[in-house]
């Protein structure tokens, strides 16, 4: 099934110079980058996008996600496959070969206690929609129009 999904390249990935590397992971699967834009997220956008999380965590995410790249990635079974190659939330538990598993090794617990750079959200490089309903919701948030 040809699907679309929403991918966000997060601030830490941009700062680390991993934009090309991350985009190439999607492209080499045959997926097309249908839309791509930069955004400086507002608090409202982040609270809406992450409304399944505890507000304290979302506040931490607001300090973390100051500049992002939002993309619509399109191809067969894009939602499930992009989640697979993104990997689990915590780098430590993300399988090597996934984006998070190859470029991060931290945990949520460490992020909360290691505040040396003033950021308490776990830095995990990339977001991928987890189902089609959330894709439509997220598209509206980041592109300001319905799908
Ligand atoms: P994802 O779908 O794997 O991105 O994970 P979730 O939807 O559960 O959470 C969204 C994002 O919020 C994660 O990617 C993390 O950046 C952050 N996050 C979620 N839970 C926690 C937590 O318990 N602690 C911290 N520090 N960050 C969290
Ligand atoms: Mg999620």
22-31 pLDDT per residue, tens: 999 999 999 9
Q: What would the pLDDT profile of 3-54 be if each residue is shown by its tens digit?
A: 999 999 999 999 999 999 999 999 999 999 999 999 999 999 999 999 999 9
Enumerate residues lining ligand 1, CB below 6 A. 50, 53, 57, 60-61, 89, 108, 111-112, 120-122, 124, 127, 130
* 16: CB partners within 8 A, 6+ apart: 103
pLDDT of 147: 83
Contact 84, 128 (CB under 8 A): no
Could you tell me the CA-to-CA distances from 80 to 74, 83, 92, 138, 146 in Å, in that order?
12, 5, 21, 16, 21
Tell me how many domains the chain contains: 1
How does residue 1 score in pLDDT terms, banded at 50, 70 and 90? confident
Tell me how far apart the alpha carbons of residues 138 and 146 are, in angstroms, rounded to a whole number: 9
Rounded to two decimals, the pTM is 0.95
Pairing of strands 68-76, 2-9: antiparallel
* Residue 46: CATH number of its domain: 3.30.70.141
Domain of 105 in residue numbering reads as: 2-143
């Amino acid at each position: 099934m040809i699907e679309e999904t929403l991918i966000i390249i997060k601030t830490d990935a941009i700062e680390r110079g991993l934009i090309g590397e991350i985009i190439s992971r999607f492209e080499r699967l045959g997926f097309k980058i249908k839309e791509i834009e930069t955004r400086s997220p507002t608090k409202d956008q982040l609270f809406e996008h992450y409304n399944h999380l505890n507000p304290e965590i979302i506040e931490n995410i607001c300090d973390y996600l100051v500049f992002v790249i939002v993309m619509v990635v399109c191809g067969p079974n894009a939602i499930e496959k992009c989640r697979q190659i993104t990997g689990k939330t915590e780098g430590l538990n993300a399988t090597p070969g996934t984006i998070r598993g190859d470029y991060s090794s931290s945990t949520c617990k460490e992020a909360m206690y290691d505040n040396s750079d003033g950021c308490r959200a776990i830095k995990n490089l990339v977001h991928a929609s987890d189902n089609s309903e959330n894709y439509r919701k997220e598209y509206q948030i980041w592109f300001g129009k319905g799908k």
